[in-house]
Structure 1
Amino acid sequence: MLLAAGVGITPVLGLARALRTRGSDYRVLYTGRTREHMAFTRELEAAHPDRVTVVESARGARIRPAEVVTTVPRDGVLYVCGPMGLLKDVRQAWQQDGRSPTNLRFETFGTSGSLPAQPYRVEVPRHGVTVEVPVGTSMLDALQASGVDLMYDCLRGECGLCRVRVLEADGTIDHRDVFLSSRQRDEGRQMCGCVSRVAGAKVTIDC
C-alpha cells in the first residue's frame, strides 16, 4: 500500500512505477483537498488502472489510518509520505495493530508539527544557561549559539543524536521528529532538539 497526502505524492510516483515494473501487487491511496488541487491524478490513474483511490477532503472524504492499516495484509508493507500529523496517526495505528515496525516505511516533506510555532525559553541547569528560542530557530541552534554543545547529525529529527532529557515542561512538547516512539512521546521525558519545540513558556532540560 502506498499512501500519499498532498505533495507527498512526489516520491510515491517513483515507487508506484517500480512496483508496476516488477509486477507486484500494490495499491495507491492519494488524499488531498480536491482533484483540481492534486497533482498527477490523471497520470496516476492512467498508468495504474484500478489501483488508485483518490480521497478528496473538500468533499467530506477522510483517510482513517486504522482502516488503512487493516487493508494491508499482515505480511504486507505500507509506505507513507505526507504531513507529520498523518504520519503520526499512521504510526500509532500500525503499532496498535501489532504490526512489524520494519513493514512501515515513511518519508515526511516537512516537520511542521501539530502546534503553531511560538517563542519559548530553554533552561539548562547543568550549564547555568537560559536561552530564548525564537520562531524560525531550533532549540539545537539556540543552545549552540550560547555555547552549549550537543551531538547531532541529520538535523531532520531522524537519527535521535540530539535528544535531550526533559526535566520539566511549562507547555506542550510538540514532537516534530520521526525518531521517538509514541510511548516515548507520551512520557514527555525526551525531545529532539533539532526539530521539536515547546508550545508554552519554557522547558528545562539536561544535556
Structure 2
Amino acid sequence: MNTPSAHPWILGLTGGIGSGKSAAAEHFAALGVHVVDADHAARWVVEPGRPALSQIAEHFGEQVLQADGQLNRGALRALIFSDPEQRRWLEALLHPLIREEIADNLAQAQSPYAILVSPLLIESGQYTTTQRVLVIDVPQALQIQRTLKRDNTSEEQVHAILKVQASREDRLRHADDVLTNDRDLEALKTEVERLHDFYLTLRGGQP
C-alpha cells in the first residue's frame, strides 16, 4: 500500500486565458488534492491592511484605491498595461510576497501531491518550484471565444492579455503532461480523473 510521503510533490498547472484551468483545478480539489491558486495569493497580498497595498497607493496615488480602501484593479491595470516600467515596479514588489504566500500555503498540504495553479507559471519562473507541469491546452480561437463569453470583455483586451501570457508553444515546451480541453466539462473531468490516478502512482512527480 502506498503511504503518502511527508512532503507532497508539487504539480504546476497552467494554461492561457479561457483554457479551463480553473475548472480543471476545481475537479482536482474535489478529488481531495490540495490546490493553491497563485491568483488568490496575488489578491491576498494586496488586501487592505497588508503592507503592499499602502506601497502601491503611495507609488501610484489614491486613484488606485476604491472608496472602501480596496485596490481598484481596473485602474491599476490601466496604468501598468500601457507602461512596462510601472509593470516591472509592481512585479518587483509583489512577486516575492506572492511566492512566500504560495510556499506557506503549499506547506500545509496533506494530499500525496499538491497543485499550484498559475496563469503565469512559465513566465514568472514559478514552474521551477514544481516537480511536474500540466498544461491545459486549447486552440487560440476557442480561448478567445470562451473568454469573450465569460468575461464580457472586448476582443482587444483578450488579445492584450494573450500578449502578456506565454505563447502556447512556450507553455507546451515546458509541459510534462498536456490536457486538451476542446470538448465539454464532462470530458475535462474524465481527463482530470485519469491524470489524478496516474499522479497517485508517482513519487516526487516522476514515474
Smaller-chain TM-score range?
A: under 0.3
Q: Relative contact order (alpha carbons < 8 A, sep ≥ 6): 1 or 2 greater?
A: 2
The structure that is helix-richer by fraction is: 2
TM (norm. structure 2) is: 0.25
The structure that is strand-richer by fraction is: 1
